[in-house]
Structure 1
């Protein structure tokens, strides 16, 4: 039973330390509801509930952004500006070039088939 109490005590201390570091290192726009100093006092003086309150109500959750703050995309495919550039002129030219290459490849393969098939004179004459 003493080990359980020691474990819970160490867990409480660890939570308080992590919450206090998070609170003191947070940017001002990442702190909600109360001033930083009040949050630090709540974390230190209220044993288990203080750190839990800080993580649930005191800081802006990662990925949500502060109220009024511009949100940054997390990945290029989430960025609307990046997605618009995919259909730019360069992308259109690249698609056209790719289509020309595919058509050229089809023509060359067809020519090779005609040249390799001596039994079928129709293919040799290009009537197919």
Structure 2
């Protein structure tokens, strides 16, 4: 009886990992591409499934509204400006602050002399 239970759990784990690898997007894997993880799970069912779960799966936080909760550095497309007007405003404020800091540094240098 314990062997049957162990076999069923192993098979359930293997099927879960196969379905998970097949349905995930290419960007949601670590260390190997999607095809590599598929081969690992297929060829080494128990150990490959466990390795995939603990090492290869990208953990994505699911929020209650169904959206994914990426951290800012992991958000797909983070290098693309989302709103050009806000981006220009942000860059303008950065330039103004940098110039203000340069003026303050020059004043401190002249005050020290």
TM-score with structure 2 length normalisation?
A: 0.53
1:65–1:50 Cα change, 3 Å: farther
Picking from 12, 30, 33, the partner of 2:31 is: 33
Show structure 2 runs of 5+ residues with no match.
Answer: 62-68, 77-113
2:106: which partner in 1?
none
Alpha-carbon separation, structure 1, partners of 2:43 and 2:71: 27
Deviation at residue 66 of structure 1 after TM alignment? 8.2
1:45: which partner in 2?
43
1:59–1:13 Cα change, 3 Å: same
Alignment deviations for residues 47-84 of structure 1 (CA, whole Å, 9 cap, x no partner): 3211111111111112274894328xxxxxxxxxxxxx
Alpha-carbon separation, structure 1, partners of 2:36 and 2:5: 28
1:40–1:15 Cα change, 3 Å: same
Question: RMSD between aligned alpha carbons?
Answer: 2.3
Q: Which has the larger radius of gyration?
A: 1
1:31–1:60 Cα change, 3 Å: same
2:22: which partner in 1?
24
Alignment deviations for residues 15-51 of structure 1 (CA, whole Å, 9 cap, x no partner): 0100011111111111111111111111122132111
Alpha-carbon separation, structure 1, partners of 2:38 and 2:28: 14
Q: How many residue pairs get matched? A: 69
Contact 1:29 / 1:66 at 8 angstroms: preserved in 2?
A: no
